[in-house]
Amino acid sequence: MATGRTHRPATRSRGIPEATVARLPLYLRALTALSERSVPTVSSEELATAAGVNSAKLRKDFSYLGSYGTRGVGYDVEYLVYQISRELGLTQDWPVVIVGIGNLGAALANYGGFASRGFRVAALIDADPAQTGKLVAGLPVRHTDELEEIVERNQVSIGVIATPAGAAQEVCDRLVAAGVTSILNFAPTVLSVPDGVDVRKVDLSIELQILAFHEQRKAGEDLGEAVARGTLPKAAEEAADRPGPDGDVPAVMPA
Amino acid sequence: MATGRTHRPATRSRGIPEATVARLPLYLRALTALSERSVPTVSSEELATAAGVNSAKLRKDFSYLGSYGTRGVGYDVEYLVYQISRELGLTQDWPVVIVGIGNLGAALANYGGFASRGFRVAALIDADPAQTGKLVAGLPVRHTDELEEIVERNQVSIGVIATPAGAAQEVCDRLVAAGVTSILNFAPTVLSVPDGVDVRKVDLSIELQILAFHEQRKAGEDLGEAVARGTLPKAAEEAADRPGPDGDVPAVMPA
DNA sequence: CCATCTTTGTGCACGCGTTCACAAAGACAT
DNA sequence: ATGTCTTTGTGAACGCGTGCACAAAGATGG
Ligand SMILES: NC(=O)c1ccc[n+]([C@@H]2O[C@H](COP(=O)([O-])OP(=O)(O)OC[C@H]3O[C@@H](n4cnc5c(N)ncnc54)[C@H](O)[C@@H]3O)[C@@H](O)[C@H]2O)c1
Ligand SMILES: NC(=O)c1ccc[n+]([C@@H]2O[C@H](COP(=O)([O-])OP(=O)(O)OC[C@H]3O[C@@H](n4cnc5c(N)ncnc54)[C@H](O)[C@@H]3O)[C@@H](O)[C@H]2O)c1
């Protein structure tokens, strides 16, 4: 998963487990697709497949929201779409500001999936005076000086940070001081925020590193298994034997 | 967290828990920063703070890699950087292809954080003939027809998908068929892949929806508590009372 | 060499999340 | 009305992840 939430110490918000909340958008997406195809009802099995999860998990997830299914039939698609939307707070509009209109920020601003789910880009903000006033995705880029005013006037509670890492904490502090209580951070830094403020991060580099780990493991597996079976010549065996904690590796980094 | 991994049923790869693997890049980033400041050693407490985690968790994480610390002193920064890099497979170069060079794909191509950690953009691929040959981040965009050849020739095992959702599964299938075994998916779709292929997804929309959920909860909290204390007039009380499973809500979605 | 002090490494307990498996609910046919 | 068949909702068991708390390791100073 390309996301990691900040430590929210097992806060079951109104009885809905955090893990379930994270899956609701997935169900919603699958349900919306069914709704567009005018499918009236769907079974937990079908929906689970569409959402890429286990059907028992899906049923348990829905059970936290209440009993919205009909035994022998399944779930009413429209009704479920409404219930999940309501639970996620998508029946209202959420004004969002994006700070840092560079490569990534501009891509985010142009992203259609934003508006499609009740999120409205209230403003684009950048510190570079050369950017100020430029139109990105039809919106004028505003200068950082106006940040507080924009947040307050538009009642923005969700902020997206797409600045370089060095500027992220400062931007975060200003957003929070101005009233933002939820932050989506694309900069590769750990943000510290006061209690009551949620931070979620998206870090491409971390995702790739996790993939690399598994990739390496896959590559080493065949070799490793061969070693275990003793079907390799001695030399290859030693090469495959990863240096263990016994420390026969150089204490310097080769790069 | 903006990331979700696809169902890897508790595969403790070589005894390192998945949760630990996901944190290693975080530690590595903090350690690299210390290394650049020529800090020789660091305690679990300091490093944990820098990485935004609990110190006990960090120590336990490191214990899976072996005993690399010195009691009473802490961890040798350079040595730890090397060990984690090795564990994550970052001592080798990983060629990566990006498919779908639109707003997002171009931003990713321009992203510096790619190359800084052993990931090398081997090629940019797009289906639009108008894009073919255009330079993005100094690399020429190649046409989808060449996908298989590019992947095979460059021994690419990691692919990034930044196409529209509708094209993602097809692109995924082609990447996998050509030999890619790890995929980072930015398109809002569930990808189905054969066993042995890892998929991680980054979904901005899901992240925002999770934030919206908590945001809504925060907003409703004061009101909800007031209701519980019975300090609200009847009308407001009923308005605050969210419709329960008893179903006094319309079965249609208001939007 | 001994005492003291710092910090690691981990045993242990607890809670969350996942999954199995099944009873009961309800649709539908007869 | 009764029986059959499908599918939900959930009890219960299990495993993973987290965090506390502490013993042991080792550095440091006398
Ligand atoms: N581009 C990607 O694909 C990508 C991927 C993952 C993470 N990131 C991260 O996202 C962030 C942005 O990446 P990018 O490629 O768009 O960088 P960029 O340099 O293209 O854009 C950064 C923008 O932030 C603005 N900025 C700088 N300081 C600011 C401040 N204090 N207040 C407001 N705006 C400020 C700059 O003027 C610039 O327009 C970086 O932290 C990067 O590491 C980018
Ligand atoms: N832009 C964002 O911030 C953002 C955020 C989250 C998710 N996404 C998702 O990322 C994807 C890309 O977003 P975008 O804004 O860059 O869209 P875009 O339309 O700007 O770019 C899509 C690119 O993919 C190419 N393409 C289409 N079909 C292809 C195929 N079969 N093979 C190869 N290339 C193909 C198109 O030619 C185009 O260049 C979308 O699925 C979007 O939902 C984007």
pLDDT in tens, B2-57: 444 443 333 444 689 999 999 999 999 999 999 999 999 999 999 999 999 999 99
Which ligand has an atom closest to residue A125 CA? 1
- The domain ranges of chain A are 11-88, 94-202, 210-255
Cβ atoms A147, A125 nearer than 8 A: yes
CA distance B233 to chain A (A): 23
Strand C contacting residues by CB (7 Å): A 10, 12, 17-20, 53-54, 56-57, 59-60, 70-73; B 7, 9, 43-45, 55-56, 59-60, 62-63, 67-75
pLDDT in tens, B173-186: 999 999 999 999 99
Residue with minimal CA–C1' distance to C11 is: B60
Instruction: Pick the more confident residue, B227 or B33.
Output: B33
Among B96, B94, B108, B51, which residue's Cα sits nearest to residue B75? B51
Q: Which atom of ligand 2 is nearest to the CA of B104?
A: 16
B102 lines ligand 2 (CB under 6 A): yes
CB contact under 8 A, A206 and B76: no
Query: Which amino acid, B181?
Result: T
Separation in Å, CA B142 to CA A131, A234, B49, B134, B149: 31, 44, 44, 8, 11
The region of weakest confidence among A228-237, B134-143, B190-199 is A228-237
Among A252, A189, A209, which residue's Cα sits nearest to residue B76? A252
**What whole-number distance in Å separates Cα of residue B155 and Cα of residue B151?**
6
**What whole-number distance in Å separates Cα of residue A147 and Cα of residue A126?**
9
Average pLDDT, chain B: 86
Per-residue confidence band for B117, with pLDDT thresholds at 50, 70 and 90: confident
**What whole-number distance in Å separates Cα of residue B27 and Cα of residue B163?**
31
pLDDT, residue A15, reads 84
Considering the domain B11-88, what is its CATH architecture? Orthogonal Bundle (1.10)
Among B128, B88, B84, which residue's Cα sits nearest to residue B106? B128
Tokens of A91: 């029946």
Compute, in angstroms, the gap from residue A113 CA to the centroid of ligand 1. 20
Q: Whose CA is nearest to atom 29 of ligand 1?
A: A127
The pLDDT of residue B145 is above 80? yes
pTM of the predicted structure, to 2 decimals: 0.88
Residue with minimal CA–C1' distance to C10 is: B60
B61 lines ligand 2 (CB under 6 A): no
**What whole-number distance in Å separates Cα of residue A160 and Cα of residue B116?**
24
Cβ atoms B1, A3 nearer than 8 A: yes
Q: How crowded is residue A167: how many other Cβ atoms within 10 Å of its Cβ?
A: 16
Tokens of A145: 């000086």
Specify the residue for token string 């830094």: A189
Q: Is B157 helix (H, G, I), strand (E, B) or coil?
A: coil
Cβ atoms B161, B187 nearer than 8 A: yes
Separation in Å, CA B74 to CA B33, B46, B68, B71, B212: 17, 9, 9, 6, 41
The tally of CA atoms less than 13 A away on the side-chain side of residue A114 is 21
pLDDT averaged per 10 residues, chain A (length 255): 39 76 98 97 98 97 94 97 96 97 97 87 98 97 98 98 98 98 98 97 96 93 51 42 38 36
Taking the CA atoms of A197, A200, A205 and A206 in sequence, report the sign of the dihedral they define.
positive
pLDDT, residue B170, reads 98
pLDDT, residue A42, reads 98
* Strand D proximal to B44 Cβ, under 7 A: no
CB contact under 8 A, A21 and B210: yes
The answer as to CATH 3.60.130.10 being correct for domain A94-202 is no
Cβ atoms B114, A207 nearer than 8 A: no
Q: Is A106 helix (H, G, I), strand (E, B) or coil?
A: helix
Query: Which run of H or E residues covers position A125?
Result: strand A119-126
Among B220, B238, B172, B226, which residue's Cα sits nearest to residue B199? B172
B125, B143, B163, B208: which to mutate for ligand 2, most atoms within 8 A of CB?
B163
Closest chain B CA to residue A156: B215
Q: Spell out where chain B has E strands.
A: 3-5, 41-42, 69-70, 74-76, 94-99, 119-126, 135-136, 139-143, 158-161, 182-185, 198-202
Compute, in angstroms, the gap from residue B56 CA to the centroid of ligand 2. 41
